[in-house]
């Protein structure tokens, strides 16, 4: 027989074997009598940072966008697509020349003027910032750098920008002109060093004539504010005038029809007067707006504007929107990390100090310009997040800047956990929260490399916190990846830090947060990658050096960079693997939490989307919700004969109920035989399935239930039970005795 014939015969036999293997059912072995791990509901955590409007524009009850009038003029003449409106801003240099900047590549850092200077950037920095690794095409504008300099723009855009910057209609980006009748008017953005907050004030002048002159605000990115009929809305305005002046504050529908309006008389004493107001609309509207109007000659300067629902739309009287709390309760979230770019990326990060976040929101004078949001204030800060986690019923992890002093750290712990008889506990009570917040975790800065300086800051936070609360846990924010292998400088420094905590008798009060790529569909299948990045290898190596010590792993940021079913299936697979490794972890979390639908400017990985009138889950949030609905603490032994079919099984404490979690990672349905031992069950099972669709599918405003769990009717035989798992799916099977 010649070689060619032999080769063809072997190829045919291999093909037959392959087809038979594909047709052969997968063997799924479940041994309910062998427990391999114990898990807690703290595995269902989430990460929130001031990114993609999760706080300002989301959780925070503030319904207005651009509350301090700090943004320069709108770029409406750029004709941006709706999805790109959040990505481009206009900035001024020291010569009042306008330039464009994109927020889509905020990690490509730029230099900023100090906040007490009158302009945003120096012209030389506009032209010398680093080139982007990947150029961006944003609605036809081609960014090769963070900035698109003025002289690189078309003559028509240059003309329009200069007219807007220097003309009579200088209006901060998120506000709009409202004029009736035939008045003469002027809108100016003033930068004279006397702004109420930040560096800019919005000035409105009604020069002469009849009618009205004012501004209106349509909420987040001008998408409209939902107002409910006969419901109270309240707020605060900081406004200055040099003469007694009457202003009118109103709630309007999308056409400018007045639904509620009240006049307020200003003293005209050249200070930023505090105007507190309440408005109740006589009709509801989905796309409403808030108006500030002059109806006679006069001039006002606006420094701060705030509008929120009455207590009916908030939680416990806090500045927290009720629907955001309810969403996380439904998702079953039990731990919330509040940390991120606002702590370590901002030009003004040294101003991210907790004491600047206290008091009435209109008196928090510090402006924070961070890496992601172009402008943000401390009107939502650490204390508001503690109130949010309290309302959700979750454990809070609060990230703080390394720049906090030892005294300020001590004072912070006394404020959040101290008795009302203490100085700072008394202040907490005076500010509306007599009971301690009972904070358990403080995290030192955000995603830092380990260094002697970082270790010293860990020690500073620990010793300062323990002076007030000896039980406080100090958490790192140190990503591990493959940087901490035994023998490396990083491993040596990690050992030194661990040794210090052990010597202080506080080894169980050191926690390590390592962020990971769990949103990648192959992450948890690659165990070397998984065990390194999740800190398991580091945990094992440190245990060898320090017998009896177990590093507390609290990995609070699973990243995925997308929100579709690819992310959902990856998250489901990650859940399975993490629970089989359950004895390694204290708590776990996923990023990001919230996202305005279609208006993200970075990382399309928000797991709960919202608009002004709706909120819905993306697939990965549905995975969490189902995990909590079927929660059981004990993970039992499982095995699959096919890597494409991943299985985890859990049983309750009474051993009367068991749930199987099966992820089909392949694009083909897979038939399996369920070999269940040491658990006698009834054949009628509760089965829920999500997926069975392309990985690019996700939930939209129009199709909010596109990728969700759906109940399946099936009987699981007591012997040789067969079940076919749909392609790209996650199936949850609950069996009862």
**What is the phi/psi pair of residue 212, to 5°?**
-150, 155
Bond prior to 197 in cis (omega within 30° of 0): no
Written as six digits, the tokens of 61 are 């009850």
Are 478 and 366 found together in one domain?
Answer: yes
Kindly report the CATH number assigned to the domain that includes residue 295: 2.60.120.260
State the residue for tokens 């199936």.
731
Domain count, the chain: 3
Domain residue limits at 240:
76-311
Are 490 and 464 found together in one domain?
Answer: yes
Written as six digits, the tokens of 553 are 């792993």
Are 319 and 388 found together in one domain?
Answer: yes
Of 350, 423, 440, give the one whose Cα is nearest residue 386: 440
**174-224, pLDDT tens digit by residue?**
999 999 999 999 999 999 989 998 889 999 999 999 999 999 999 999 999
Kindly report the CATH number assigned to the domain that includes residue 669: 2.60.40.1180
Q: What is the pTM of this model?
A: 0.94
Q: What per-residue confidence (pLDDT) applies to 519?
A: 81
Q: Are strands 45-48 and 335-338 parallel, antiparallel or unpaired?
A: parallel
**What is the phi/psi pair of residue 386, to 5°?**
-60, -40
Among residues of the chain, what percentage have pLDDT more than 90?
82
Of 547, 517, 549, give the one whose Cα is nearest residue 532: 517
SS3 689: strand
Are 602 and 640 found together in one domain?
Answer: no
714 within a domain of the structure (yes/no): yes
6 within a domain of the structure (yes/no): no
Distance in angstroms (rounded) separating the CA atoms of residues 428 and 420:
8
Distance in angstroms (rounded) separating the CA atoms of residues 427 and 422:
9
Element (H, E) at 428: helix 423-430
Residue 619, pLDDT > 80, answer: yes
Q: Where are the alpha helices (DSSP H) in 630-715?
A: none
Are 361 and 429 found together in one domain?
Answer: yes
Residue at which a domain ends, from 629, 663, 698: 629
Are 507 and 429 found together in one domain?
Answer: yes
Are 307 and 419 found together in one domain?
Answer: no
Written as six digits, the tokens of 597 are 């639908």
Are 479 and 530 found together in one domain?
Answer: yes
421 within a domain of the structure (yes/no): yes
Kindly report the CATH number assigned to the domain that includes residue 424: 3.20.20.80
**What is the phi/psi pair of residue 221, to 5°?**
50, 35
Q: What per-residue confidence (pLDDT) applies to 51?
A: 84
Element (H, E) at 629: helix 619-629
Instruction: Tell me which of 191-205, 341-355, 395-409, 583-597 is least confident.
Output: 341-355
Written as six digits, the tokens of 361 are 């929101």
Are 568 and 598 found together in one domain?
Answer: yes
Q: What per-residue confidence (pLDDT) applies to 10?
A: 38
Residue at which a domain ends, from 568, 602, 629: 629
Distance in angstroms (rounded) separating the CA atoms of residues 386 and 64:
22
**345-355, pLDDT tens digit by residue?**
665 555 788 99
Per DSSP, the chain holds a count of helices (H) and strands (E) of: 14, 38
Report whether 634 contacts 343 (CB < 8 A): no
Of 223, 222, 221, give the one whose Cα is nearest residue 103: 221
11 within a domain of the structure (yes/no): no
CB atoms within 10 A of CB 352: 26
Residue at which a domain ends, from 311, 331, 361: 311
Q: What per-residue confidence (pLDDT) applies to 12?
A: 41
3-state SS string for 279-340: ECCCCCEEEEEEEEEECCCEEEEEEEEEEEECHHHECCCCCEEHHHHHHHHHHCCCEEEECC
Q: What per-residue confidence (pLDDT) applies to 347?
A: 56
Q: What per-residue confidence (pLDDT) applies to 370?
A: 56
9 within a domain of the structure (yes/no): no
474 within a domain of the structure (yes/no): yes
**What is the phi/psi pair of residue 335, to 5°?**
-145, 135
469 within a domain of the structure (yes/no): yes
State the residue for tokens 């807007």.
164
Are 597 and 638 found together in one domain?
Answer: no
Q: What per-residue confidence (pLDDT) applies to 19?
A: 40
509 within a domain of the structure (yes/no): yes
SS3 373: coil
**481-534, pLDDT tens digit by residue?**
889 999 999 999 999 999 999 999 999 999 999 998 888 888 888 899 999 999
Q: What per-residue confidence (pLDDT) applies to 225?
A: 98
- The per-residue b/e assignment along 688-721, b for 16 or more CB within 10 angstroms, e otherwise, is bbbbbbebebbbeeeebebbbbeeeebebeeeeb
Of 54, 74, 68, 92, give the one whose Cα is nearest residue 368: 68
Are 184 and 303 found together in one domain?
Answer: yes
Interhelix angle 489-503/452-466, rounded to 10 degrees, is 20
SS3 527: helix
Are 359 and 507 found together in one domain?
Answer: yes
């Amino acid at each position: 027989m010649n070689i060619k014939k032999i080769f063809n015969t072997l190829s045919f036999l291999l093909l037959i074997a392959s087809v038979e293997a594909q047709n052969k059912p997968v063997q799924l072995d479940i041994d309910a009598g062998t427990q391999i791990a114990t898990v807690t509901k703290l595995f269902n955590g989430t990460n929130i940072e001031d990114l993609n409007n999760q706080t300002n524009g989301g959780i925070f009850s503030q319904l207005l966008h651009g509350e301090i009038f700090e943004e320069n003029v709108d770029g409406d003449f750029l004709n941006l697509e709706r999805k790109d409106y959040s990505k481009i801003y206009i900035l001024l240099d020291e010569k009042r020349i306008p330039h464009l900047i994109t927020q889509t590549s905020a990690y490509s850092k730029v230099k900023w003027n100090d906040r007490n200077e009158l302009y945003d950037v120096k012209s030389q920095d506009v032209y010398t910032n680093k080139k982007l690794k990947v150029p961006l095409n944003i609605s036809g504008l081609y960014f090769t750098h963070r900035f698109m300099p003025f002289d690189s723009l078309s003559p028509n855009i240059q003309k329009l920008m200069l007219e807007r910057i220097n003309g009579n209609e200088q209006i901060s980006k998120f506000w709009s002109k409202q004029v009736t009748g035939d008045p003469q008017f002027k809108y100016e953005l003033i930068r004279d060093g006397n702004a109420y907050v930040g560096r800019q004030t919005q000035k409105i002048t009604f020069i002469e004539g009849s009618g009205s002159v004012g501004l209106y605000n349509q909420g987040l990115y001008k998408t409209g504010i939902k107002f409910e009929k006969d419901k109270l809305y309240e707020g605060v305005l900081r406004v200055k005038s040099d003469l007694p002046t009457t202003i009118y504050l109103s709630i309007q529908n999308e056409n400018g029809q007045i639904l509620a309006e009240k006049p307020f008389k200003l003293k005209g004493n050249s200070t930023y007067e505090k105007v507190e107001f309440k408005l109740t609309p006589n009709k509801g509207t989905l796309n409403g707006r808030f108006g500030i109007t002059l109806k006679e000659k006069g001039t006002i300067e606006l420094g701060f504007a705030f509008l929120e629902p009455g207590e009916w739309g908030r939680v416990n009287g806090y500045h927290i929107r009720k629907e955001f709390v309810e969403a996380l309760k439904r998702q079953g979230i039990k731990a919330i990390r509040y940390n991120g770019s606002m702590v370590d990326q901002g030009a003004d990060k040294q101003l991210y100090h907790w004491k600047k976040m206290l008091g009435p929101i209109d008196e928090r004078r510090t402006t924070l310009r961070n890496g992601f949001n172009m402008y943000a204030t401390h009107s939502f800060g650490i204390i508001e997040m503690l109130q949010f986690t309290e309302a959700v019923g979750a454990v809070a992890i609060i990230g703080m800047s390394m720049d906090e002093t030892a005294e300020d750290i001590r004072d912070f712990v006394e404020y959040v956990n101290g008795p009302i008889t203490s100085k700072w506990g008394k202040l907490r009570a005076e500010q509306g929260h007599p009971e301690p917040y009972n904070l358990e975790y403080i995290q030192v800065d955000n995603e830092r490399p380990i260094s002697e300086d970082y270790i010293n800051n860990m020690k500073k936070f620990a010793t300062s916190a323990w002076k007030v609360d000896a039980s406080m846990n100090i958490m790192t924010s140190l990503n591990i990846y493959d940087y901490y292998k035994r023998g490396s400088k990083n491993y040596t420094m990690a050992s030194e830090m661990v040794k210090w905590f052990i010597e202080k008798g506080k080894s169980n009060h050191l926690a390590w947060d390592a962020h990971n790529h769990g949103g990648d569909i192959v992450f948890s299948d690659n165990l070397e990658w998984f065990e390194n990045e999740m800190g398991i290898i580091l945990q094992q190596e440190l245990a060898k050096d320090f017998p009896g010590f177990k590093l507390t792993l609290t990995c609070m940021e699973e990243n995925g960079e997308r929100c579709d079913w690819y992310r959902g299936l990856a998250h489901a697979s990650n859940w399975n693997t993490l629970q089989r490794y359950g004895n390694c972890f204290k708590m776990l979390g996923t990023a990001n939490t919230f996202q305005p639908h279609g208006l993200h400017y970075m990382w399309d990985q928000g797991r709960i989307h919202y608009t002004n009138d709706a909120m819905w889950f993306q697939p990965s949030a549905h995975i969490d919700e189902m995990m909590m609905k079927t929660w059981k603490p004990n993970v039992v032994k499982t095995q699959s004969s096919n890597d494409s079919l991943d299985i985890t099984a859990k049983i309750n404490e009474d051993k009367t109920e068991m749930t199987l979690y099966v992820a089909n990672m392949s694009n083909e349905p897979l038939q399996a035989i369920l070999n269940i031992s040491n658990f006698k069950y009834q054949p009628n099972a509760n089965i829920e399935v999500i997926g069975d669709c392309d990985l690019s599918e996700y939930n939209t405003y129009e199709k909010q239930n596109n990728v969700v769990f759906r109940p399946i009717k099936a009987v699981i035989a007591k012997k040789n039970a067969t079940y076919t798992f749909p392609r790209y799916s996650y199936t949850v099977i609950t069996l009862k005795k």
